[in-house]
Amino acid sequence: MTDTIKAHGRAHRRSARVPLLNHFSHDDRVLIVITADPDSIASSVALKRLLWRRVAHVSVASTNECRRPDNLRLVAALGLDLLHLPKVDLSHYTKLAMVDSQPHHTPQTADLHFSVVVDHHPVGHRDHHRPQPEFTDIRPDYGATATIFTQYLKAARIKPNQLLATALFYAIKTDTLNFVRQGQIEDMQAFRWLYPLIHHPLLSQIEQAPIGRKSFKYLLAGLNNAVFHNNFAAVCFEKLDHPDTLVIAADFMMQIEGVSRAFSCGIVDGKLVVVFRSLGIRSGNLGRLAQEAFGAYGSAGGHKNMARAEMPLPAVDPKGTMTTAQLFGFVIRRLREALGKKSPTAEEAAEAYLRRRPAAGAPRPGPKP
Ligand SMILES: [Mn+2]
C-alpha cells in the first residue's frame, strides 16, 4: 500500500517536472512516429522509457524504410521493433506522438492527429483548420531532439541505461556533425551528462558500421565519373546507397596528386548531399563556403577543411521535376557563385602578386596551359 502511494507520488512529481507526461493516461496505446535516423530512433526510445509503466502499450513506427547500416545497428542494439508506418493499423492506438519531425513534413502524416510533437526543426507552417497537437515542444536552436529528451530524462530523474545513453549520445554527435553544425550549449551539456553512461564498444560498433559490398559498386561507378580542374576534383554520384560513400569518395580524391580541394555529391534518402574536403591551406573556409552556397536550402556548415551540406530535395526542386544532371548543375552553379563572391581584396591581390613575382634574373614563367 505504502509502495503504491510512494509510486503514485513519484509519478505525480515526475509529470510535474516533465509536462509532456500529463498528456498520457494508463489505458493509452501510444504510437510514436519517426522518420528513421539516429536522432529520431534515440528520441523515440527515450520517450518509450519515459512512458514506461504509465501507458498500456508503446510502439514505434517509421515513415521511411530504415536501411542505413548505422541506423540498422542502432535499432538492433536497442532491441527496437521498428514498424513501417504504411503497414500499421492506426485504429489499434489511442494516441500518436511524433519526435524529431513535424506532421506536415511528410504527406503520410500531414492528415493525422498527433497528441504530442517534440522536435528541433524550424517551426513549419501551421494549418489552423487541422486540430493542433495538445502538446508541442519545438526548439529550433537545439542541435538534436535527443538533447531535449536527455533533459526530460534528467528532469524525470531517470538514469538511462547504457543502450539508451549510447543511442542519445550518438544521436547528438551525428545530428550536430560532431558539434560543427549548430552545436548549442544545451547539446554540449547533454553530451557531457551522457558520456559516463555510454557503452563505448557499442558506440564504435555503430560508428564503424561497415560499407556494404553493394556500396563498393556505387563507389566505383562514381569515381569513374570524377572530374578534375586544376587542383580541384569533383565526384557526382548518379546512384548512391549511403551518404558515407560520399565521404569515402571525397577523402579518396584528396589523395590524388595535385588535388587540394574535393567535393562529392549525390542524392540519398530524399536529400541532396554535398561533402567537401580540402587541405585547408589557402583554400578558404569550406564551412563558410558550404553555408554560403547551400545554407538557404538546408543544413550546411563545417570546419575550415571539412564541410557538408544536406538539402531536402523539395527545398531545391519544389516541383520534383529536376533530373540528376540538373541537380548536379545546381550544385556547381551555387558553388561557383559562392566562390565568385570571394574575389580577393586589393591587399590580398597585391600580396599574391608579390609572392608570384619572379626573383630578379629568373625567367618569367609562361602562361599555364
Ligand atoms: Mn534531429
For the chain, state the CA radius of gyration: 24
Q: Which residue has the higher pLDDT, 258 or 149?
A: 149
Which amino acid does the sequence have at 359?
A: A
CA nearest to 298, candidates 306, 307, 159, 9: 307
pLDDT band at residue 307 using 50, 70 and 90 as cut-offs: confident
pLDDT value of position 364? 40
Q: Which residue has the higher pLDDT, 7 or 224?
A: 224
Average pLDDT over residues 281-300: 84
Residue 220 has pLDDT above 50, yes or no: yes
b/e per residue 302-338 (b: at least 16 CB within 10 A): bbbbbbbbbbebeebbeeeebeeeebbebbeebbeeb
> How far, in Å, is the centroid of ligand 1 from the Cα of 41?
10
pLDDT value of position 156? 95
Average pLDDT over residues 144-161: 96
> How far, in Å, is the centroid of ligand 1 from the Cα of 201?
24
> How far, in Å, is the centroid of ligand 1 from the Cα of 326?
28
Topology agreement, domain 2-207 and domain 214-344: no
pLDDT value of position 312? 92
Q: Which residue has the higher pLDDT, 96 or 238?
A: 96
Distance CA 118, CA 120 (A): 7
> How far, in Å, is the centroid of ligand 1 from the Cα of 47?
14
pLDDT band at residue 4 using 50, 70 and 90 as cut-offs: low
Distance CA 143, CA 161 (A): 22
> How far, in Å, is the centroid of ligand 1 from the Cα of 211?
23
pLDDT value of position 179? 59
- What angle, rounded to 10 degrees, do the helices at 185-194 and 145-155 form? 60
Average pLDDT over residues 281-293: 81
Residue 48 has pLDDT above 90, yes or no: yes
pLDDT value of position 183? 59
> How far, in Å, is the centroid of ligand 1 from the Cα of 359?
55
Distance CA 25, CA 28 (A): 6
pLDDT value of position 98? 97
> HEC profile for the chain?
CHHHHHHHHHHHHHHHHCHHHHHCCCCCEEEEEECCCHHHHHHHHHHHHHHCCCCCEEEEEECCCCCCHHHHHHHHHHCCCEEEHHHCCHHHCCEEEEECCCHHHCHHHHCCCCCEEEECCCCCCCCCCCCCCCEEEECCCCCCHHHHHHHHHHHCCCCCCHHHHHHHHHHHHHHCCCCCCCCCHHHHHHHHHHHHHCCHHHHHHHHCCCCCHHHHHHHHHHHHCCEEECCEEEEECCCCCCCHHHHHHHHHHCCCCCCCEEEEEEEECCEEEEEEEECCCCCCCHHHHHHHHHCCCCEEEECCCEEEEEEEHHHHCCCCCCCHHHHHHHHHHHHHHHHHHCCCCHHHHHHHHHHHCCCCCCCCCCCCC
Among 1.10.1660.10, 3.30.70.330, 1.10.274.10, 3.10.310.30, name the CATH number for the domain at 214-344.
3.10.310.30
Distance CA 308, CA 337 (A): 17
Average pLDDT over residues 114-126: 86
Are the beta carbons of 251 and 279 closer than 8 angstroms? no
Residue 368 has pLDDT above 70, yes or no: no
> How far, in Å, is the centroid of ligand 1 from the Cα of 40?
6
pTM of this prediction exceeds 0.75: no
> How far, in Å, is the centroid of ligand 1 from the Cα of 182?
11
Share of the chain above pLDDT 90, in %: 47
Q: Which residue has the higher pLDDT, 295 or 360?
A: 295
Question: Over the stretch 25-36, which tens digit does the pLDDT of each residue have?
Answer: 999 999 999 999
> How far, in Å, is the centroid of ligand 1 from the Cα of 30?
21
Please determine, looking at this structure, whether the domain spanning 2-207 carries the CATH number 3.40.1390.10: no
Distance CA 317, CA 339 (A): 22
pLDDT value of position 344? 45
Question: Over the stretch 171-189, which tens digit does the pLDDT of each residue have?
Answer: 999 887 655 555 578 999 9
Q: What does the chain come to in residues?
A: 369
Are the beta carbons of 145 and 163 closer than 8 angstroms? no
Average pLDDT over residues 17-42: 95
Instruction: Round the average pLDDT of the chain to a whole number and report it.
Output: 84
Q: Which residue has the higher pLDDT, 22 or 346?
A: 22
> How far, in Å, is the centroid of ligand 1 from the Cα of 154?
19
Are the beta carbons of 233 and 226 closer than 8 angstroms? yes
pLDDT band at residue 14 using 50, 70 and 90 as cut-offs: confident
> How far, in Å, is the centroid of ligand 1 from the Cα of 152?
16
Residue 345 has pLDDT above 50, yes or no: no
> How far, in Å, is the centroid of ligand 1 from the Cα of 100?
5
> How far, in Å, is the centroid of ligand 1 from the Cα of 101?
7
> How far, in Å, is the centroid of ligand 1 from the Cα of 116?
16
> How far, in Å, is the centroid of ligand 1 from the Cα of 143?
7
Question: Over the stretch 75-104, which tens digit does the pLDDT of each residue have?
Answer: 999 999 999 999 999 999 999 999 999 998
> How far, in Å, is the centroid of ligand 1 from the Cα of 283?
31
pLDDT band at residue 160 using 50, 70 and 90 as cut-offs: very high
> How far, in Å, is the centroid of ligand 1 from the Cα of 343?
36
Task: Return the domain boundaries, the chain.
Answer: 2-207, 214-344
Distance CA 241, CA 221 (A): 12
